[in-house]
Amino acid sequence: MAFVATRDSGFEIIVKSGFTIEPGSIFISGFHGLGEVGFLSTAHLARALDAERVGFIKSDMLPLFVSMENERLVLPFELFSYESFVFLVPRFQPHQAEQWQFIDRLASWIIDNKFSEVLLLGGLDASFKEDDEDMRCVPTTAYLPLLDKWSVPLLEEGLFVAGPLALLLAHFEMRDYPALGLLTYATRGRPDPRSAATMLEKINEVYGLNVSVDQLLEESKEIERLEKMRKSIEAEDRSSDMFV
C-alpha cells in the first residue's frame, strides 16, 4: 500500500495514495488529557467503526515507540477514515517542545481540506460538576450556528481548557473556523472509560451512529473495582497503624 507525504518544516501528514478527503467531512480527535477521555473516545470510535487507516503524522520529535495491535504495527499518530469522518488517534501527546508547530500544521491541514466541522474531545474535572449535566462544550465563534444540535451547556466562565486541545481551539478561533471542544466530566488521576462512554453516547445521538460502549463500561467497572480495593487496603493499613 503506497503512501505519499507533504512536508513542511519537519512535520509531515502522510496519507494513503489515492485517498482524498471529501469536502464537508468531519474531523474528530482527542488527546491524553484529564481521564484520557479524548484519546479513549477517539480510539474507540475508530476501532468500533472498523475505520480504515489512511495516514500518519510524522514530526521531528515523534515518540520513539511503536507497538502491535490486531497483527499490525501501530504508530504514535494515525489517521482513520469512516464514511464522512476522519479520526486522528494520538497514542501519545505531541512533544512539549514542538506542540505549537504540531498544532499549527495540523490546523492548517484541516482547514486546507475543507472539513465542515471539527470535534475535539476531552475531559473536565468532575469536582467542578454542579448540576445534572454530564458535559460542557467550548465552541469557536464560527461553530455557534451548529451548536443547537448538541444541547450541551457552555463551559462556565473562569474554567480553562488546557493542552493540545486548547491550542487547536485557539488556532481555529483565530482563523474563524467551526470547531467544538466537547468535555465530559471525568475522574482525575486515572483513565476514565465511563466518561468516554458518555461522550460516545452523545456522538451517537448527534451523528446517527451506533457505536457500542459496552467495552468501555466493562473497562470502567474493572478500574473502579481496583480503585475500591486499593482504597480499602490503604484504609486497613491506616487502621493498623493505630495499634501496637
Q: What is the pLDDT of residue 95?
A: 86
Q: Which of 4-13, 72-81, 96-105, 156-165 has the lowest mean pLDDT?
A: 4-13
What the chain holds in terms of domains, given with CATH numbers, is 3-211 (3.40.50.10900)
Could you tell me which residues come within 8 angstroms of residue 96 by beta carbon, excluding any fewer than 6 positions away?
A: none
Position of cell 517542545? 97
Q: What is the pLDDT of residue 8?
A: 47
Burial class (CB in 10 A: 0-12, 13-18, 19+), 99: middle
The secondary element (H helix, E strand) that includes residue 85 is: strand 85-90
Q: What is the pLDDT of residue 228?
A: 66
Q: How confident is the model at residue 229 (pLDDT cuts 50, 70, 90)?
A: low
